[in-house]
Amino acid sequence: VQLQASGGGRVQTGGSLRLSCADSALSEDFALSDYVVGWFRQAPGMEREFVAAISWGGSATLYADSVKGRFTVSRDNDKNTADLQMNNLKPEDTAVYFCAGKSGGIYRSPGEYEFWGRGTLVTVSS
């Protein structure tokens, strides 16, 4: 299993980006659709922080207060992908964004997640 977050880039304040998470290794015995997907971010010199999460079926979502109303997490279990739509981006959203997976319920703590992917850099300029 090797998750890969993609879709990062540089935008101006108020702009939008859509990140996607998938298993880049295309593991035969793994299906992202069986797991909770969490999105996290880490800015330089800062700890990794929770952004959003979605249950394996997509019926439950959780957001950090800082992104609520601006970011939307979704998933397509037929494609084994999960997306993070980010609107009205702010300079403080600048960070490397990671996706991660876990079994069971959705949690905010990075320590609860079992496997992680490579991040993608989001830069928001003022």
Using the predicted structure, report yes or no on whether residue 1 has a pLDDT greater than 80: no
Q: Cα-flanking dihedrals φ and ψ of residue 35, to 5°?
A: -130, 155
Cβ proximity of 82 and 32 under 8 Å? yes
Question: In the prediction, which pLDDT does 26 show?
Answer: 64
Pairing of strands 9-12, 61-63: unpaired
Going by C-alpha positions, the residue among 99, 71, 75 that lies closest to residue 87 is 71
Question: In the prediction, which pLDDT does 60 show?
Answer: 96
Mind listing the pLDDT tens digit for each residue in 18-66? 999 998 766 677 788 889 999 999 999 999 999 999 999 999 999 999 9
DSSP letter for each residue of 22-86: EETT--TT--GGGSEEEEEEE-TTS--EEEEEE-TTSS-EEE-TTTTTTEEEEEETTTTEEEEEE
CA distance 35 to 96: 22
The pair of structure tokens assigned to 44 is: 């330089």
CA distance 11 to 7: 12
Mind listing the pLDDT tens digit for each residue in 66-120? 999 999 999 999 999 999 999 999 999 999 999 999 999 999 999 999 999 899 9
**Rg of the chain, C-alpha, whole Å:** 13
